[in-house]
Structure 1
Amino acid sequence: MTTTLHAAWLIALAALPAPALAGDKPAFELALDIDQDGTMDRAVVMQDDGGPADLYFYLGTREEKLDPSQKPDFVGKALTEDRILDLEAKGKGSLAITSCFGCGATKSTEDTLIIVHRRGQFLVGGYSRNWDWNIQKSDGTVETTVGDCDINYLTGKATASRDLEDGKPVKGRFKPVLLKDWSYEKRPKICSF
């Protein structure tokens, strides 16, 4: 009987949404009105040390504590491999997620993903990235690559810079990307170095 109860407990525990699992604590949690319907929603980022970050949205939660049995309205798995630094509500119901790799080391990048909810869908409304990458060469010199990019998917415009020059407009138009289709591996080429 104990084995049956133990197995039933494990099955019930596995069926719960990820943020509700015992021992898991959100890396970040934020109340905001992302769908702009007048009711507070909740964004939760879960990330183990060194692991990918998962994003959960719970719509219409008001400001109460999340019910562990509540199913998320959206789950974005492996949103980034980098360490999440901040989750911030921005104007017009947008959410900014900032992450970094290296975080100030000789090889570092910082990314900010802007998420919006429009016409019933979660979209990537913007993306920015800056990098400072130093590579030690075999002759003892250091090769430094710095730059940044900033894309506003809602307006379709972007800027990019290399080295220490000012950002310049990028030719072409950028269209909003469904958040479910976004991955850090699909970032635009102008944001690579």
Structure 2
Amino acid sequence: MKTVFHQAALPLIATLAAMPAPALAGDKPAFELALDIDQDGAMDRAMVMQDDGGPADLYIYLATGEERPDPARRPDFVRKALTEDRILDLEAKGKGSLAITSCFGCGASKSTEDTLTVVYRNGTFLVGGYSRNWDWNIQKSDGTVETTIGDCDINYLTGKATASTDLEGGKPVKGKFKPVLLKDWSYEKRPKICSF
């Protein structure tokens, strides 16, 4: 009898293990925000889970109201390992967009700050915008410091972008930038204008 029960329970255990479970008892999201991302008049919820030094996972629940979703509820969207950088903030922006800000170095002599703007259009989560700024100092063998400062700002919804180096103001970048599916987004695939 025990063997039959154990064999019957294995598929259930495997199914439960495969389900995303960001809100298990005792777990607390690194950041959590209520917003109307799908612009249907009902509040939705975005959560980022991140252990110290680990990747950040994004969970989005549609039509949750003002309350935190029940732990048994599956998210409507999950993006594992959205970034390896430390999440600093989630912010609701205009037209239901969600800005996720992260940093590498976070103010150290080598640091970057990225903001990914997520939108929901025609039933799909998209990267609607991306901005990055950097302040990178390299100690040279002669004791001097080489500093690289710059930023980029891409609006994937309008297809326009600006970039700057050193202390110059942002200049328009030639080319057309198209929205990227959030599920396919990777910081490694960011446009070259955002690298230094």
Length-normalised TM-score, structure 1: 0.92
Per-residue CA shift, 1:105-154, capped at 9, x if unaligned?
Answer: 10000000000000000000000000000001111111100000000000
State the SS of the aligned residue for 1:134: strand
2:57 is equivalent to residue 47 of structure 1:
no
Q: What is the match of residue 30 of structure 1? A: 33
Q: Distance between the aligned counterparts of 2:140 and 2:149, measured in 1? A: 17
Task: State how 1:49-64 maps to structure 2 within 5 Å.
Answer: 49-64=52-67
Q: What is the match of residue 138 of structure 2? A: 135
Q: What is the match of residue 112 of structure 1? A: 115
State the SS of the aligned residue for 1:185: helix
Q: Is 2:37–2:96's contact at 8 Å kept on the other side of the alignment?
A: yes
Q: What is the match of residue 189 of structure 1? A: 192
State the SS of the aligned residue for 2:22: helix
Q: How many residue pairs were aligned?
A: 188
Deviation at 1:16, TM superposition (A): 4.7
Q: Distance between the aligned counterparts of 2:60 and 2:98, measured in 1? A: 11
Deviation at 1:62, TM superposition (A): 1.1
Q: Which runs of 5+ in 1 are unaligned?
A: none
Per-residue CA shift, 1:40-71, capped at 9, x if unaligned?
Answer: 11101010101111101111111122111111
Q: What is the match of residue 94 of structure 1? A: 97
Q: CA RMSD in A?
A: 1.7
Q: What is the match of residue 163 of structure 1? A: 166
Q: Is 1:13–1:21's contact at 8 Å kept on the other side of the alignment?
A: no
Q: Is 1:16–1:69's contact at 8 Å kept on the other side of the alignment?
A: no
Q: Distance between the aligned counterparts of 1:159 and 1:139, measured in 2? A: 34
State the SS of the aligned residue for 2:108: coil
State the SS of the aligned residue for 1:109: strand
Q: Which runs of 5+ in 2 are unaligned?
A: none
